[in-house]
Structure 1
């Protein structure tokens, strides 16, 4: 099956829209309010972490574990 130039342009436009949506979702997530205590283990989140990442909802250890699980199972953030 032959695809015309319009089909490729439409695919490029769709890919760009998906990238933009992903960027907006990430920005929105980062702009959110985090937690004082980790949602996973309940320990207080270090002040330096909350300053560096105000949207943090997990302590460093639990965030590392979550990132590791996401890499293993192919999930995005």
Structure 2
């Protein structure tokens, strides 16, 4: 299953490592160092305001969608269709 994270980008659910709020990530020294170390693997999908950060096995995506919206989308995809 794929999740739309902004612009024209879809990510496989199996590739997700974390979804973080950008404001929380900016306040962390560890995340600041992580972003510096992975500078060439950052994909900026935001034209104006970034709200969340999606970390995958291979890249870090800056998304215009909120972390709550992305969480809802991943939860919706992971629910079984039949009970």
Q: Considering Cα pairs closer than 8 Å and 6+ residues apart, tell me whether 1 or 2 has the greater RCO.
A: 2
Give the structure-1-normalised TM-score. 0.30
Q: Which has the higher helix share?
A: 1
Larger Rg: 1
Identify the structure with the greater strand proportion.
Answer: 2
